[in-house]
Structure 1
């Protein structure tokens, strides 16, 4: 009997540890939410990451949105505390949706933090500012111009973000590359010939607030689409953030001997909370990974503003295409894009 108090104490300690471990898996941790294309309406209702080997995460066509060839259209997606980066836009006929199909049909690049509404709710002009609001409240995206050289018909518009910083509260980590696909119908046939290089429209939240011009974007670590996730220092993170154009734009315009870089037409908004045409799709269930190392705290940076993600899992059978990363629980940490 003299050992009973020790046994009870040990049991209590074990129970406390188990409860703590459970909370570590299921309680909200300071992580960012992620993003996907919501205007035009995409097939995805939650984020899907890619290692570059898949064209569309969801291969089931959705209801198409109709546009004219060469039309300038509004595009929107969520900011969700992430920093900088680029968006690649590609278009391919329905049914031709492999990664290589889209790689061969890239027509436009933009800055990820573009658009009049892509500003923190508190008006911060810091390069490293978070949203200062809840998930899915700050929308990014401005306009893109659809190709004017395609026949009328049904197509898939692919959206890929890359060169984005701040992941799971780690300001020195790259954010995984996300991909979405939206079904569209071109109601007219274009009248132009396809240019040698994709168009690039520069200018974003940071370049405008710092008056740096409109021919580049603020981005993290790399201006190329990569198959791995870079994890750098949270203490010396500023070295990873820079300004420039997508590598594909640089290489193509250099080879072609001309430029397809267009200035941004969006004026920097007043730093008040504007009435925004924000995306209307709001996730309702949470399965996204919530396990990540604790990051160092940085004043006025997203590391202090990261918010838990609520994501809808649209897959009915739990299967995801090769090359994509499904939302996971704390137990599942294997990702094709993670560099160990």
Structure 2
């Protein structure tokens, strides 16, 4: 009996060190979004749900609380963009990115058991651990109704595979700016770093923990579940790194991402529908795409089955170029 108790204790301890195996994806829940479940994007979707909802009112330049579910996924970034109601294409939002944050930010974005392990899961049921802290809304727009777009990307651990990139998700929330802003539009968006892992590792607040690439991609990276740690790195979104006014790409990339990894492992790039030429993975072997994303989503009781499918939408990920544009709905 003592041996059995000891064995169970060892198994429990080892389980704490294993990467998460069950995910339920995520969506924006505060401010209230149009979506009530996870919706994927390859960078070509503006808003999955195009029907406006009752907007939440804010003042220009207001700092607001934002929340979304962690659901066992690891690292990554959140991109925030804004566009007038009715102008909701992917390029509309690419042209109006104003804020980036780390995905695992906020005081509540920690495992229920308090684990500081980099690859720890939630230690709780789906849709119970919320991430997000605050963002500051633009102070250079005209009064009126707008759509706030939330995109998560560069996130690791998908379908129980800690060496796979999680699909990118998008949500939209309707908001009203109750008055005109008083500032000029900045050349580059704001980036606020610092997340669960950088805090635990005492690495400061100028970067985020993320998986494989720091851009929004049109392919899903699938790598080794044994050598995954080398692909979890620290840094900033590509757009923040390279922002140079009207030539910046708003974090979207139509080309294969550059990596900081030199080791050779078995990898593949899975497109949403068709396989482009991949140039960035060290040694790549094609493998059949056998996603079980919809099955994973079904494990969360309040996520509708139709909210995510096995196939992801086709589209060209367009570069941005908003900073030099003169828009009728900005001040001046």
Structure 1 length as normaliser, TM-score?
0.70
Could you list the runs of 5+ residues in structure 2 that have no partner in the other structure? Answer: 1-20, 248-291, 315-332
Residues 135, 307 of structure 1: 8 Å contact kept:
no
Residue correspondence of structure 1 range 60-71 to structure 2 within 5 A = 60-71=51-62
Residue correspondence of structure 1 range 174-213 to structure 2 within 5 A = 174-213=165-204
Post-superposition CA distance 1:245-266 (Å, at most 9, x none): 000000016999xxxxxxxxxx
Residues 47, 311 of structure 1: 8 Å contact kept:
no
Residue in 1 that maps onto 2:282: none
- Relative contact order, higher structure (CA 8 A, sep 6+): 1
Residues 159, 293 of structure 2: 8 Å contact kept:
no
How big is the alpha-carbon RMSD for the aligned residues of Structure 1 and Structure 2? 2.2
Provide closer, same or farther for how the CA distance between residues 309 and 288 of structure 1 changes in structure 2, counting only shifts above 3 A: farther
CA distance in 1, matches of 2:106, 2:202: 16
Q: How many residues align?
A: 250
Is 1:99 aligned to residue 104 of structure 2?
Answer: no
CA distance in 2, matches of 1:92, 1:255: 17
Could you list the runs of 5+ residues in structure 1 that have no partner in the other structure? Answer: 1-29, 257-286, 292-305, 319-325
Shift of 1:311: 4.4
Residue correspondence of structure 1 range 109-188 to structure 2 within 5 A = 109-188=100-179
Match for residue 52 of structure 1 among 43, 62, 75: 43
SS at match of 1:101: helix
SS at match of 1:250: helix
Post-superposition CA distance 1:216-270 (Å, at most 9, x none): 00000000000111000000000110000000000016999xxxxxxxxxxxxxx
Shift of 1:307: 9.5
Shift of 1:312: 3.6
CA distance in 2, matches of 1:254, 1:73: 26
Is 1:216 aligned to residue 207 of structure 2?
Answer: yes
Structure 2 length as normaliser, TM-score?
0.72
Shift of 1:290: 1.6
CA distance in 1, matches of 2:129, 2:176: 28
Residues 288, 311 of structure 1: 8 Å contact kept:
no
Residues 31, 290 of structure 1: 8 Å contact kept:
no
CA distance in 2, matches of 1:307, 1:204: 28
Residue in 1 that maps onto 2:294: 289
Shift of 1:63: 0.9
Shift of 1:153: 0.3
Residues 135, 309 of structure 1: 8 Å contact kept:
yes
Is 1:327 aligned to residue 302 of structure 2?
Answer: no
Provide closer, same or farther for how the CA distance between residues 72 and 219 of structure 1 changes in structure 2, counting only shifts above 3 A: same
Post-superposition CA distance 1:195-227 (Å, at most 9, x none): 000000000000001100100000000000001
Match for residue 80 of structure 1 among 71, 81, 94: 71
Shift of 1:92: 0.2
CA distance in 2, matches of 1:307, 1:61: 26
Provide closer, same or farther for how the CA distance between residues 255 and 68 of structure 1 changes in structure 2, counting only shifts above 3 A: closer
Shift of 1:31: 3.1
Residue in 2 that maps onto 1:232: 223
